[in-house]
Amino acid sequence: MRGQEPRSTSSCAACKLLKRRCTPNCIFAPYFRSDEPKKFAKVHKVFGDSNVSKILIEVPEEERGDTVNSLAYEAEIRLRDPVYGCIGAIALLQRKMIQLQHDLALARACLAWYTSAIGSTDDDRVITEPFGGLSADCG
């Protein structure tokens, strides 16, 4: 590999992959730097350069950075999981959230019991635990 670039201007990662001249107003250039070839390769494989170009043209310029990053993320996930892609990630997070909500409700119920039991006593704390001691239900 030659260490020196023969061209006066370096092509963006998109134009390098597509083997075309990178024009000054290349729509990909600001978001697919030449030192990040994998980013565009993944986006190109999943969405195609034509579709990405159309999406970028449709969004305001100030939002194109976020658009490209979300496309890159989506492409990455799809390549890792070709069947479910981001939907698998969403399903996993939803399950996690439901589990945490359940655990939190349980913990708070135990805390509520503690605070009510504590509040009903003065100095001598005679607490009758409802679960037979420090069971798993109350941590």
Partner 1 sequence: MASSSSYNSPCAACKLLRRKCMPGCIFAPYFPPEEPQKFVNVHKIFGASNVTKLLNELLPHQREDAVNSLAYEAEARVRDPVYGCVGAITFLQRQVQRLQKELDAANADLIRYACNDISTSLPQAPGTRSFQPLTPRNRLAEFNRRNIDNEGGGFYQVPGALPYSFPWNDTSSGDINDGGGEGGM
135 lies in the site for partner 1, by CB under 8 A: no
Task: List the one residue from 21, 30, 61, 121 that touches partner 1 (CB under 8 A).
Answer: 121
Task: List the one residue from 90, 128, 130, 131 that touches partner 1 (CB under 8 A).
Answer: 90
Task: List the one residue from 94, 130, 131, 132 that touches partner 1 (CB under 8 A).
Answer: 94
- Coil, helix or strand at residue 101: helix
Binding region for partner 1 (CB under 8 A) out of 3-11, 21-29, 59-67: 59-67
* Residue-by-residue DSSP string for 53-108: HHHHHHS-GGGHHHHHHHHHHHHHHHHH-TTTHHHHHHHHHHHHHHHHHHHHHHHH
- Coil, helix or strand at residue 14: helix
The overall longest dimension of the chain from CA atoms, in Å, is: 86
Read off the DSSP letter of residue 138. G
Sites of contact with partner 1 (CB under 8 A):
36-39, 45-48, 50-51, 54-55, 58-59, 63, 66-67, 69-74, 76-78, 82-90, 92-94, 96-97, 100-101, 103-104, 107-108, 110-111, 114-115, 118-119, 121-122, 125, 127, 134, 138-139
